[in-house]
Homo-oligomer: A and B are copies of this chain.
Amino acid sequence: MSAPVRTRRPRGSIDPDIILHAALDLARATDVDSVSMPAIAERLGVGATSIYWHYRSKDDLLRAMSGAAIHLVWDRLPEPEAGTPWRAYLERHFRAMRAIYRDDDMLADLVLFRIRSYSLDATHVLFQRIEGIVAMLVASGFRPITAWHAYSTLSTFTRGIIVAERSQRLNHSPAVDERHRRLLVPQTMPHLTALLDGEGIALAMVSDDDFEWALARILDGCARLRESER
Protein backbone atom coordinates (compact mmCIF):
# COMPACT_ATOMS: atom_id res chain seq x y z
CA MET A 1 0.00 0.00 0.00
CA SER A 2 2.26 2.78 -1.16
CA ALA A 3 1.20 6.28 -2.13
CA PRO A 4 0.28 6.76 -5.80
CA VAL A 5 3.47 6.71 -7.83
CA ARG A 6 2.48 8.15 -11.19
CA THR A 7 3.80 11.65 -11.68
CA ARG A 8 1.74 14.23 -13.43
CA ARG A 9 2.12 14.02 -17.21
CA PRO A 10 3.24 17.16 -19.01
CA ARG A 11 0.64 19.03 -20.94
CA GLY A 12 0.26 17.79 -24.50
CA SER A 13 1.71 14.37 -23.72
CA ILE A 14 -1.35 12.73 -25.23
CA ASP A 15 -3.51 13.82 -28.12
CA PRO A 16 -6.39 12.24 -30.03
CA ASP A 17 -4.04 10.45 -32.40
CA ILE A 18 -1.93 8.87 -29.70
CA ILE A 19 -5.04 7.71 -27.89
CA LEU A 20 -6.50 6.35 -31.11
CA HIS A 21 -3.41 4.31 -31.88
CA ALA A 22 -3.16 2.98 -28.36
CA ALA A 23 -6.78 1.89 -28.60
CA LEU A 24 -6.18 0.18 -31.95
CA ASP A 25 -3.05 -1.56 -30.66
CA LEU A 26 -4.97 -2.77 -27.66
CA ALA A 27 -7.86 -3.96 -29.80
CA ARG A 28 -5.52 -5.95 -31.99
CA ALA A 29 -3.57 -7.38 -29.07
CA THR A 30 -6.68 -8.48 -27.23
CA ASP A 31 -10.18 -8.00 -28.53
CA VAL A 32 -12.37 -5.04 -29.35
CA ASP A 33 -14.58 -5.99 -26.41
CA SER A 34 -11.60 -5.70 -24.09
CA VAL A 35 -10.90 -2.11 -25.05
CA SER A 36 -11.84 -0.08 -22.00
CA MET A 37 -10.94 3.42 -21.00
CA PRO A 38 -8.84 2.24 -18.04
CA ALA A 39 -7.02 -0.29 -20.25
CA ILE A 40 -6.15 2.34 -22.86
CA ALA A 41 -5.06 4.76 -20.17
CA GLU A 42 -2.79 2.18 -18.59
CA ARG A 43 -1.05 1.66 -21.92
CA LEU A 44 -0.41 5.37 -22.07
CA GLY A 45 0.58 5.79 -18.44
CA VAL A 46 -2.23 8.27 -17.98
CA GLY A 47 -5.29 8.59 -15.81
CA ALA A 48 -8.35 7.02 -17.40
CA THR A 49 -10.35 10.18 -17.18
CA SER A 50 -7.76 12.16 -19.14
CA ILE A 51 -9.07 10.58 -22.32
CA TYR A 52 -12.33 12.46 -21.90
CA TRP A 53 -10.62 15.71 -22.65
CA HIS A 54 -9.88 14.46 -26.17
CA TYR A 55 -12.89 12.24 -26.85
CA ARG A 56 -16.36 13.05 -25.63
CA SER A 57 -17.21 9.42 -24.95
CA LYS A 58 -16.14 5.88 -25.62
CA ASP A 59 -18.61 5.81 -28.49
CA ASP A 60 -16.79 8.76 -29.96
CA LEU A 61 -13.49 6.92 -29.71
CA LEU A 62 -14.96 3.78 -31.25
CA ARG A 63 -16.22 5.84 -34.16
CA ALA A 64 -12.72 7.15 -34.73
CA MET A 65 -11.38 3.60 -34.54
CA SER A 66 -13.86 2.46 -37.17
CA GLY A 67 -12.84 5.31 -39.42
CA ALA A 68 -9.19 4.35 -39.09
CA ALA A 69 -10.07 0.72 -39.77
CA ILE A 70 -11.86 1.64 -42.99
CA HIS A 71 -8.77 3.48 -44.13
CA LEU A 72 -6.61 0.46 -43.30
CA VAL A 73 -8.86 -1.77 -45.38
CA TRP A 74 -8.99 0.47 -48.43
CA ASP A 75 -5.27 1.12 -48.29
CA ARG A 76 -4.74 -2.55 -48.94
CA LEU A 77 -7.35 -2.88 -51.67
CA PRO A 78 -6.07 -2.63 -55.25
CA GLU A 79 -7.07 0.35 -57.35
CA PRO A 80 -8.22 -0.19 -60.91
CA GLU A 81 -5.47 0.52 -63.39
CA ALA A 82 -6.04 1.58 -66.95
CA GLY A 83 -6.15 -1.52 -69.07
CA THR A 84 -6.97 -4.06 -66.39
CA PRO A 85 -9.73 -6.35 -67.60
CA TRP A 86 -12.84 -5.56 -65.52
CA ARG A 87 -13.54 -9.10 -64.44
CA ALA A 88 -10.00 -9.82 -63.29
CA TYR A 89 -10.03 -6.59 -61.35
CA LEU A 90 -13.27 -7.34 -59.52
CA GLU A 91 -12.03 -10.80 -58.66
CA ARG A 92 -8.83 -9.39 -57.22
CA HIS A 93 -10.71 -6.67 -55.38
CA PHE A 94 -13.18 -8.90 -53.58
CA ARG A 95 -10.76 -11.73 -52.91
CA ALA A 96 -8.47 -9.16 -51.33
CA MET A 97 -11.31 -7.72 -49.28
CA ARG A 98 -12.17 -11.13 -47.90
CA ALA A 99 -8.53 -11.89 -47.12
CA ILE A 100 -7.96 -8.57 -45.38
CA TYR A 101 -10.85 -9.01 -43.00
CA ARG A 102 -10.06 -12.63 -42.38
CA ASP A 103 -6.45 -11.88 -41.50
CA ASP A 104 -7.37 -9.17 -39.02
CA ASP A 105 -10.39 -9.80 -36.84
CA MET A 106 -10.15 -6.31 -35.44
CA LEU A 107 -11.02 -4.81 -38.79
CA ALA A 108 -14.13 -6.92 -39.18
CA ASP A 109 -15.20 -6.17 -35.62
CA LEU A 110 -14.80 -2.44 -36.07
CA VAL A 111 -16.10 -2.02 -39.60
CA LEU A 112 -18.76 -4.69 -39.96
CA PHE A 113 -20.03 -5.43 -36.46
CA ARG A 114 -19.62 -2.61 -34.05
CA ILE A 115 -20.54 0.29 -36.31
CA ARG A 116 -22.78 2.94 -34.84
CA SER A 117 -21.98 5.54 -37.43
CA TYR A 118 -19.16 6.19 -39.79
CA SER A 119 -17.42 9.47 -39.66
CA LEU A 120 -18.21 11.62 -42.65
CA ASP A 121 -14.56 11.57 -43.62
CA ALA A 122 -14.47 7.78 -43.84
CA THR A 123 -17.62 7.80 -45.95
CA HIS A 124 -16.07 10.28 -48.30
CA VAL A 125 -12.97 8.18 -48.89
CA LEU A 126 -15.18 5.19 -49.52
CA PHE A 127 -17.30 6.89 -52.15
CA GLN A 128 -14.22 8.27 -53.84
CA ARG A 129 -12.87 4.78 -54.35
CA ILE A 130 -16.19 3.32 -55.46
CA GLU A 131 -16.51 6.12 -57.99
CA GLY A 132 -13.21 4.96 -59.49
CA ILE A 133 -14.39 1.39 -59.77
CA VAL A 134 -17.71 2.37 -61.33
CA ALA A 135 -15.83 4.56 -63.81
CA MET A 136 -13.61 1.63 -64.76
CA LEU A 137 -16.64 -0.58 -65.34
CA VAL A 138 -18.33 2.07 -67.44
CA ALA A 139 -15.16 2.43 -69.48
CA SER A 140 -15.30 -1.36 -69.93
CA GLY A 141 -18.73 -1.16 -71.52
CA PHE A 142 -21.15 -1.30 -68.61
CA ARG A 143 -24.11 1.02 -68.23
CA PRO A 144 -23.56 3.07 -65.07
CA ILE A 145 -26.56 1.61 -63.28
CA THR A 146 -25.41 -1.91 -64.06
CA ALA A 147 -21.92 -1.08 -62.86
CA TRP A 148 -23.39 0.19 -59.61
CA HIS A 149 -25.53 -2.88 -59.05
CA ALA A 150 -22.65 -5.18 -59.89
CA TYR A 151 -20.44 -3.51 -57.30
CA SER A 152 -23.22 -3.33 -54.73
CA THR A 153 -24.07 -7.02 -55.10
CA LEU A 154 -20.49 -8.23 -54.86
CA SER A 155 -19.83 -5.95 -51.94
CA THR A 156 -22.88 -7.10 -49.99
CA PHE A 157 -22.16 -10.74 -50.68
CA THR A 158 -18.52 -10.43 -49.65
CA ARG A 159 -19.42 -8.61 -46.46
CA GLY A 160 -21.95 -11.36 -45.79
CA ILE A 161 -19.39 -14.12 -46.01
CA ILE A 162 -16.90 -12.13 -43.93
CA VAL A 163 -19.44 -11.63 -41.17
CA ALA A 164 -20.33 -15.32 -41.26
CA GLU A 165 -16.67 -16.34 -41.11
CA ARG A 166 -16.04 -14.01 -38.21
CA SER A 167 -19.04 -15.37 -36.30
CA GLN A 168 -17.74 -18.83 -36.93
CA ARG A 169 -14.36 -17.91 -35.50
CA LEU A 170 -15.92 -16.22 -32.47
CA ASN A 171 -17.20 -19.63 -31.46
CA HIS A 172 -13.49 -20.45 -31.39
CA SER A 173 -14.71 -23.87 -32.32
CA PRO A 174 -11.93 -25.57 -34.24
CA ALA A 175 -14.20 -28.59 -34.27
CA VAL A 176 -17.25 -26.84 -35.62
CA ASP A 177 -17.42 -29.15 -38.59
CA GLU A 178 -16.94 -32.11 -36.33
CA ARG A 179 -19.92 -31.00 -34.29
CA HIS A 180 -21.91 -30.38 -37.44
CA ARG A 181 -21.08 -33.83 -38.71
CA ARG A 182 -22.57 -35.50 -35.68
CA LEU A 183 -25.82 -33.62 -36.16
CA LEU A 184 -26.45 -35.08 -39.56
CA VAL A 185 -28.53 -38.19 -39.50
CA PRO A 186 -28.34 -39.92 -42.89
CA GLN A 187 -31.92 -41.12 -42.58
CA THR A 188 -33.45 -37.67 -42.26
CA MET A 189 -30.80 -35.68 -44.12
CA PRO A 190 -29.66 -37.80 -47.05
CA HIS A 191 -28.64 -34.93 -49.33
CA LEU A 192 -26.59 -33.04 -46.78
CA THR A 193 -24.76 -36.13 -45.55
CA ALA A 194 -23.98 -37.16 -49.12
CA LEU A 195 -22.69 -33.68 -49.92
CA LEU A 196 -20.59 -33.61 -46.81
CA ASP A 197 -19.05 -37.02 -47.37
CA GLY A 198 -18.88 -36.95 -51.15
CA GLU A 199 -18.22 -33.36 -52.11
CA GLY A 200 -16.59 -32.21 -48.90
CA ILE A 201 -18.78 -29.15 -48.59
CA ALA A 202 -18.52 -27.09 -45.42
CA LEU A 203 -21.89 -26.68 -43.79
CA ALA A 204 -20.86 -23.32 -42.43
CA MET A 205 -21.20 -21.88 -45.98
CA VAL A 206 -17.98 -19.91 -45.64
CA SER A 207 -15.49 -22.05 -47.53
CA ASP A 208 -13.36 -20.91 -50.45
CA ASP A 209 -15.59 -23.02 -52.66
CA ASP A 210 -18.70 -21.18 -51.54
CA PHE A 211 -17.03 -17.85 -52.10
CA GLU A 212 -15.63 -18.68 -55.54
CA TRP A 213 -18.85 -20.26 -56.74
CA ALA A 214 -20.85 -17.17 -55.84
CA LEU A 215 -18.23 -14.84 -57.27
CA ALA A 216 -18.21 -16.69 -60.58
CA ARG A 217 -22.01 -16.79 -60.75
CA ILE A 218 -22.44 -13.09 -60.07
CA LEU A 219 -19.67 -12.11 -62.47
CA ASP A 220 -21.17 -14.35 -65.15
CA GLY A 221 -24.43 -12.51 -64.71
CA CYS A 222 -22.65 -9.17 -65.02
CA ALA A 223 -20.82 -10.28 -68.16
CA ARG A 224 -24.05 -11.33 -69.80
CA LEU A 225 -25.76 -8.06 -68.95
CA ARG A 226 -22.79 -6.18 -70.34
CA GLU A 227 -23.07 -8.04 -73.65
CA SER A 228 -26.77 -7.41 -73.96
CA GLU A 229 -26.46 -3.72 -73.18
CA ARG A 230 -23.83 -2.82 -75.71
Among residues of B, the one whose C-beta sits closest to the C-beta of A157 is: B157
Q: CB within 8 A of A191: which of B134, B184, B217?
A: B134
Given contacts A163-B163, A203-B127, A222-B217, whether A195 and B148 have CB atoms under 8 Å apart is yes
A48 contacts partner chain B, Cβ-Cβ < 8 Å: no
Kindly list chain B residues whose C-beta atoms are within 8 Å of the C-beta of A113: 113
Query: CB within 8 Å of B: which of A167-203?
Result: 167, 170-171, 173, 179-180, 183-184, 188-192, 194-195, 199, 201, 203
Q: How far is the CB of A59 from chain B (nearest CB, A)?
A: 11
Q: CB within 8 A of A124: which of B130, B183, B191, B217?
A: B183
Kindly list chain B residues whose C-beta atoms are within 8 Å of the C-beta of A112: 163, 167
- Counting chain A residues whose Cβ lies within 8 A of the other chain, the interface size class is 35 or more
Determine whether the beta carbon of B131 is less than 8 Å from that of A189: yes
- Docked CA distance A224–B118 (Å): 40
Determine whether the beta carbon of A195 is less than 8 Å from that of B144: yes
- Docked CA distance A220–B222 (Å): 11
Q: CB within 8 A of A171: which of B116, B134, B158, B170?
A: B116
A117 contacts partner chain B, Cβ-Cβ < 8 Å: yes
Determine whether the beta carbon of B160 is less than 8 Å from that of A192: no
A213 contacts partner chain B, Cβ-Cβ < 8 Å: yes
Determine whether the beta carbon of B149 is less than 8 Å from that of A210: yes
- Docked CA distance A81–B118 (Å): 44
Offer 30 A-B interface pairs, CB within 8 angstroms, sorted by A: A116-B171, A117-B170, A117-B171, A117-B173, A120-B179, A120-B183, A123-B180, A124-B183, A127-B184, A127-B189, A127-B203, A131-B190, A134-B195, A144-B191, A145-B201, A148-B201, A149-B209, A149-B210, A149-B213, A149-B217, A153-B157, A153-B210, A153-B213, A156-B164, A156-B205, A159-B163, A159-B164, A217-B225, A218-B221, A220-B221
Q: Could you tell me which A residues sit within 8 Å of B by CB distance?
A: 112-113, 115-118, 120, 123-124, 127-128, 130-131, 134-135, 138, 144-145, 147-149, 152-153, 155-161, 163-164, 167, 170-171, 173, 179-180, 183-184, 188-192, 194-195, 199, 201, 203, 205-206, 209-210, 213-214, 217-218, 220-222, 224-225
